[in-house]
Amino acid sequence: MNRIFIAGLLLTMAFFSCQPAKDSSTTTTTETWPDSLRYEQESHLKNIRQLTFGGDNAEAYWSYDNSHLVMQISNPEEGIPCDQIYFGKVPMKPGEKFEKSLVSTGKGRTTCSYFMPGNEQVIFASTHMNADSCPPGVDRAKIKKYVWPIYDSYELFISDKNGNVVKQLTDNDVYDAEATVSPMGDKVVFTSTRSGDLELYTMNIDGSDIQQITDGLGYDGGAFFSPDGSKLIFRASRPQGEEAQKEYKDLLAQGYVAPSDMELYICNVDGSDLKKITELGGANWAPFFHPSGEKVIFSSNHKSGGRTFNLFMVNLDGTGLEQITFDSVFDAFPMFSFDGKYLAFSSNRFNGGGRATNVFVAEWIE
């Protein structure tokens, strides 16, 4: 989510800022794409298609009818200086192209979009109420490590697919972002600094009844609901020791968080029965439930270290770890379509060695 901002992601470490009755309107075509976008070991994937070409395209999440994706895109060459929210129909036949349409305001910076129930509206965070221009990036001369900015000008908005903001859900001077929606269509989970720390909160779909879900020191973010809406999976840092905790607090006071050490946690939607499900080291993040609700797919650099991230899947009790992608660069932000037939993800694969992050869709093979 889920999810914070993408532009700096490729320059250093590259990670990182979402059911109603299942609709099977998207069907698997008998036509196939060339097999050149899949590595031989990737046995769960087939017919991979590339939707975007150039810029930073990430956090692509499915509509409930499995036909469209909404995502954040920045591409200065296309006049998109920092992340804005776009959506488009997923190509289902070779030769079809992904045509994107702007759904955010085009002002400020946005992050972490997700379809609302009914597929006609999108929730996202944006700084556009604070300024039309992009907020300042990280001062690398001042901050000597890889960090993400935590803009306190992010607020949560709902927009229709024509780019008209129809509702503002939050209005304050703290970070509110990384929102995703329950498949049941009744709840939103998001990350906020309203307690003084980066914690998870839920609200009703109309913005009412905000409840704090986590309270441990550290960054809790990128949360998604289980298929039955009863649980949350999310990434979290838990700095240990006085020095690490002081560094975390000092960075947060400056509006930053360092995401290089994160593991996956799961809890009930009210925050009870909190469990840590990975102990892999490195950055483990961007988790999403398998359609069965019994496994989680996520991105991690625990095996390769540094900038190389691949997708892995694990049981909810932390057993059965399985590698899904076998890239030498960056694979992240996986999301299964609601009918379980497709996997969307973002990757630097086959981009000619450049920095572009593109969105891919693959048919999923159990």
pLDDT digit string, tens, across residues 137-192: 998 888 989 999 999 999 999 999 999 999 999 999 999 999 999 999 999 999 99
The whole-angstrom separation of Cα 10 and Cα 14 is: 4
Asked, for residue 41, whether it belongs to a domain, the answer is no
pLDDT level of residue 2 (50, 70, 90 thresholds): very low
**Parallel, antiparallel, or unpaired for β 342-347 and 331-336?**
antiparallel
Domain count, the chain: 1
The whole-angstrom separation of Cα 324 and Cα 312 is: 5
Asked, for residue 115, whether it belongs to a domain, the answer is yes
pLDDT surpasses 50 at 3: no
Are 240 and 231 in contact by the 8 Å Cβ rule? The answer is no
pLDDT surpasses 80 at 27: no
Asked, for residue 77, whether it belongs to a domain, the answer is yes
- Percent with pLDDT over 90 in the chain: 85
Task: Determine the distance from the C-alpha atom of residue 296 to the mean position of all C-alpha atoms in its chain, rounded to a whole number.
Answer: 14
pLDDT digit string, tens, across residues 197-208: 999 999 999 999
Asked, for residue 336, whether it belongs to a domain, the answer is yes
| pLDDT for 281 | 97
Q: What is the largest CA-CA distance in the chain?
A: 58
Handedness of CA 24, 72, 257, 300 (dihedral sign): positive
pLDDT surpasses 80 at 293: yes
> Both tokens of residue 33?
């794409």
The whole-angstrom separation of Cα 356 and Cα 89 is: 21
pLDDT digit string, tens, across residues 298-333: 999 999 988 999 999 999 999 999 999 999 999 999
Asked, for residue 46, whether it belongs to a domain, the answer is no
CB atoms within 10 A of CB 21: 7
| pLDDT for 25 | 36
Q: What is the mean pLDDT of residues 2-18?
A: 40
Handedness of CA 277, 283, 289, 294 (dihedral sign): negative
Total length of the chain: 366
Asked, for residue 96, whether it belongs to a domain, the answer is yes
Task: Determine the distance from the C-alpha atom of residue 37 to the mean position of all C-alpha atoms in its chain, rounded to a whole number.
Answer: 22
Read off the CATH number of the domain in which 196 is found: 2.120.10.30
pLDDT level of residue 34 (50, 70, 90 thresholds): confident
Q: Which domain holds residue 150?
A: 7-17+52-364
Asked, for residue 157, whether it belongs to a domain, the answer is yes
pLDDT surpasses 70 at 349: yes
> Both tokens of residue 321?
């770890």
pLDDT digit string, tens, across residues 239-285: 999 999 999 999 999 999 999 999 999 999 999 999 999 999 999 99
